[in-house]
C-alpha cells in the first residue's frame, strides 16, 4: 500500500480523455495509491453540447463524476492531467481551472507536486505533444516535479512512443487508433513511484 494521494484531473468532450483517466485510475490503484478521478468544470454553452450527439451523450454519462476543487489539489501528492488538444493547446476548460490556482501557488502549496500529463487529437500528429507541453509550462511555474514517462519502458514504444506523456489519436467515429492502455497504466505507476520518492525524502 502506497501513502500517495493521486488526483487524475481531466477534460473530455467525447469520452477519449475520460477513458484515459479511468485507465490511469486503474494504474494508480495497482500502484497502491488512493485515487480520485475529477473533471474540470465545463465552460461551453449548453446549446453547443446539445448540438453534438457524442458530446451530449458523454456529458450525460459522466454527470456523476465530481468536479475538481482547489482542496483536491492540496490533498494530492501526485496529479495526472488528461486533455484533448485544441489547436495544439490545452482546452480552455483546463486553462480556466489552472488559472484559479494562483492563491495556492502564492502560498507555496503546489510546489513539489509530482505531475504528468496525457492527451489526444484527431490526427496522429495533431498537436498531442504541444498540448502536453502546454500543461507542463504551468507545472514549471507551480514548482511541480514533472515525471514524464520518457522512454523508460517498452510499453511506451508500442503506444506510439510519446516520451512527454501518453497520447492517442481518434478516428472519425471517436475510436482510439493506438493501443495505449498499458502505457497509461505504466505512466500512472511511474507518477506514483516518483511521488513516493519525493514524499519519503520530505518526511
Ligand X SMILES: Cc1cc2nc3c(=O)[nH]c(=O)nc-3n(C[C@H](O)[C@H](O)[C@H](O)COP(=O)(O)O)c2cc1C
Residues near ligand X (CB under 6 A) are 12-17, 84-88, 120-123, 126-127, 170
Which one, 12 or 116, has the nearer CB to ligand X?
12
Which one, 17 or 138, has the nearer CB to ligand X?
17
Q: At what angle do helices 16-30 and 181-202 cross, to 10 degrees?
A: 50
At its nearest, how many Å lie between ligand X and the CB of residue 96?
A: 15
Which one, 44 or 70, has the nearer CB to ligand X?
44
Q: CB–CB of 28/35 below 8 Å?
A: yes
Q: CB–CB of 151/190 below 8 Å?
A: no
Which one, 110 or 117, has the nearer CB to ligand X?
117
Which one, 57 or 111, has the nearer CB to ligand X?
57
Q: What angle do CA 58, 63, 69 make, to 5 degrees?
A: 115
At its nearest, how many Å lie between ligand X and the CB of residue 56?
A: 13
Instruction: Tell me which residue has its CB nearest to ligand X.
Output: 126
At its nearest, how many Å lie between ligand X and the CB of residue 15?
A: 5
The torsion region of residue 145 among left (phi > 0), alpha (psi -120 to 50) and beta comes to beta
At its nearest, how many Å lie between ligand X and the CB of residue 84?
A: 3
CA distance 88 to 190: 25
At its nearest, how many Å lie between ligand X and the CB of residue 87?
A: 4
CA distance 162 to 80: 16
In angstroms and rounded to an integer, the radius of gyration of the C-alpha atoms of the chain is 16
Amino acid at each position: 500500500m502506497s501513502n500517495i494521494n493521486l488526483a487524475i484531473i481531466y477534460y473530455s468532450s467525447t469520452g477519449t480523455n475520460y477513458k484515459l483517466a479511468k485507465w490511469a485510475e486503474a494504474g494508480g490503484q495497482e500502484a497502491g495509491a488512493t485515487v480520485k478521478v475529477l473533471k474540470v468544470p465545463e465552460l461551453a454553452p449548453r446549446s453547443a453540447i446539445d448540438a453534438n450527439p457524442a458530446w451530449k451523450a458523454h456529458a450525460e454519462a459522466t454527470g456523476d463524476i465530481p468536479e475538481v476543487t482547489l482542496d483536491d489539489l492540496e490533498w494530492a501528492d501526485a496529479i495526472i492531467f488528461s486533455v484533448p488538444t485544441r489547436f495544439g493547446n490545452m482546452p480552455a476548460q483546463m486553462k480556466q481551472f489552472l488559472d484559479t490556482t494562483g492563491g495556492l501557488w502564492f502560498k507555496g502549496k503546489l510546489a513539489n507536486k509530482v505531475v504528468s500529463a496525457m492527451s489526444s487529437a484527431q490526427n496522429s500528429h495533431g498537436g498531442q505533444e504541444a498540448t502536453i507541453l502546454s500543461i507542463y509550462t504551468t507545472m514549471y511555474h507551480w514548482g511541480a516535479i514533472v515525471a514524464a514517462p520518457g522512454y523508460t519502458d517498452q510499453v511506451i514504444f508500442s503506444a506510439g512512443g510519446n516520451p512527454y506523456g501518453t497520447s492517442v489519436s481518434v478516428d472519425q467515429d471517436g475510436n482510439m487508433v493506438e493501443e495505449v492502455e498499458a502505457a497509461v497504466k505504466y505512466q500512472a505507476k511511474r507518477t506514483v513511484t516518483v511521488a513516493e520518492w519525493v514524499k519519503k525524502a520530505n518526511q
